[in-house]
A and B are shown apart, each in its own frame.
Chain A
């Protein structure tokens, strides 16, 4: 394989990310590392949401629900056995004596989230896109209520405290790379093409042999798996879980990231996630200083509405930045730019 411009660009980006994480892990304080960790988790969530919402044209708000599933599953699996007995008395015997490390627990969380997505998506994805949004909000509420009331399994509204802090920035960076790689490869494969065809014209795509329900279910549940990963990492970064943290406000933040970055643009989602996190950290002290609570949300809501009115396709549309995409061979490039939709590959 010939080394071309986009390979170099990716390598440089990867090196920069590794350098940043190495720097943060060595010299920054616990608080600063947590903030950076959250930015990384948000990036994982935004990339996967951009993949499922942007490419299919559907609108799921279910990420917080899948994070709850992934987070609680993983946290119960890694929870120290000696405290499980009295904190979570309703666990069955085999779970109460099980204490896993982070990786298998995260995978289990992702799997559980994906399963929930299949169960919910199966009826809902057959319908027109609108229903999905409300059904997924419904899912957030249903799961929140169930977790709040299942005291002996999840400690309910008290929150599950004392989860071991196993998530390091290296783990988050690794999962971000996996998420980006999987979504990128799928986006530029036949699966991605079918999804985009469905988005552009459902009937025409179906006539060309795209299985509507199946393609959407794949995208939706894959995205939910990564939300489960995000939830698991979140749980082991913050060391506590409450159903209240996974509400509509979180879903809204993720939607803002996806829309601003450009629905369907994976790199756009990462950049937007970073930008929003910086904005939040900058605004939060202001909010507290003048006790103007709600300021962060107001600014993000205005950003969202402004983007939709002035540049509805977001920053990158559904394509990726040019320098990261393989271009056409230089000999054929002259006078023949790639189409503006930007998703074309030679």
Chain B
């Protein structure tokens, strides 16, 4: 096992971890603010990928316009889901929101199967994205570099947004205590919609990157990345933004190293490994690495 091989695996882990972090951040924001595990989050990823497919391959627009359009679409879709499905149930038990999100997820998936067919389609980013960056001994595409750089930029912008702006402060206050926040004049529903919008936008753009790496898209493609991003969020501590980023990168590295360093026969157990890891983390560190212990109020 050469150094170059290990370096290659680390780079793969970095790219995969960036994608998990992008998705997990949305998960954790939504959980932090409304205590909802949003199952439909992964399906926004799929919608993002399919919209990018339409914009790039069908209409032939340039890549940057596709990214902007997908960010907007993801945000709008997520906020619409919140408005229609979750907002009417704010007072209901948390489990109801969770079941609703499962229903929304199945609905989106099957609408996509019905309208767009369940057959996978080839998804190709413009040729220059697939070209190699010259690094001796390892294979890195322009897409890989773009993913990592854009992810880092987005995550830094997000941290600044949440920490430094009024809306960010409103979101943190709502996450802390919705009732008190509303008494202080914070418009809770706007703060929650923002969390959904930001999360949806990030998931949608992650979908474009995911599809670019996989080279194909299909209606159920969002399910596994969505669940794994949740695992990443749990590892980092659900509700903590830096935790989701850390968890995303850790999970990306762990998964790639599991596949890359063990004999190929174990490769098929990749998904089993991730969820086995989840159960292990829940057993040892139920609050995750950076999460706060859940307080109980009478």
Q: What is A's interface to B at a CB cutoff of 8 Å?
A: 57-59, 61, 120, 123-124, 126-131, 133-135, 137-139, 141-142, 145-146, 148-149, 202-204, 248-249, 252, 255-256, 259, 292-295, 297-298, 300-302, 304-305, 308-309, 312
**What does DSSP make chain A's interface, helix, strand, loop or mixed?**
helix
Q: Which of B89-140 contact A (CB under 8 A)?
A: 89, 92-96, 98-100, 102-104, 106-107, 109-111, 113-114, 118
A286 to B192, CA, bound (A): 40
- Knowing A120-B279, A131-B234, A294-B113, the reply to whether A203 touches B99 (Cβ < 8 A) is no
- Tell me, rounded to whole Å, the shortest Cβ–Cβ distance linking B202 to chain A: 20
Contacts of A304 in B (CB 8 A): 99-100, 103
- Knowing A301-B106, A308-B89, A312-B89, the reply to whether A294 touches B98 (Cβ < 8 A) is no
Contacts of B275 in A (CB 8 A): 135, 137-139, 141-142
- Tell me, rounded to whole Å, the shortest Cβ–Cβ distance linking B238 to chain A: 8
Say yes or no: B110 contacts A141, CB within 8 Å. no
Taking each of B37, B88, B106, B109, which has the highest tally of chain A beta carbons within 10 Å of its own beta carbon?
B106
A312 to B100, CA, bound (A): 10
**What does DSSP make chain B's interface, helix, strand, loop or mixed?**
helix
Say yes or no: A145 contacts B89, CB within 8 Å. no
Contacts of A252 in B (CB 8 A): 102-103, 106
- Tell me, rounded to whole Å, the shortest Cβ–Cβ distance linking A158 to chain B: 15
- Tell me, rounded to whole Å, the shortest Cβ–Cβ distance linking A292 to chain B: 6
Q: Which one of B49-57, B176-184, B253-261, B264-272 is at the A interface?
A: B264-272
A305 to B97, CA, bound (A): 10
Say yes or no: B113 contacts A255, CB within 8 Å. no
B95 to chain A: closest residue by CB: A59
Contacts of B227 in A (CB 8 A): 134, 137-138, 141
B93 to chain A: closest residue by CB: A57
User: B278 is contacted by which of A138, A145, A312 (Cβ under 8 Å)?
Assistant: A138
Say yes or no: A130 contacts B37, CB within 8 Å. yes
Contacts of A134 in B (CB 8 A): 37, 227, 230-231, 234, 278
Contacts of A142 in B (CB 8 A): 271-272, 275-276
User: B269 is contacted by which of A127, A135, A145 (Cβ under 8 Å)?
Assistant: A145
Say yes or no: A59 contacts B98, CB within 8 Å. yes
A133 to B96, CA, bound (A): 12
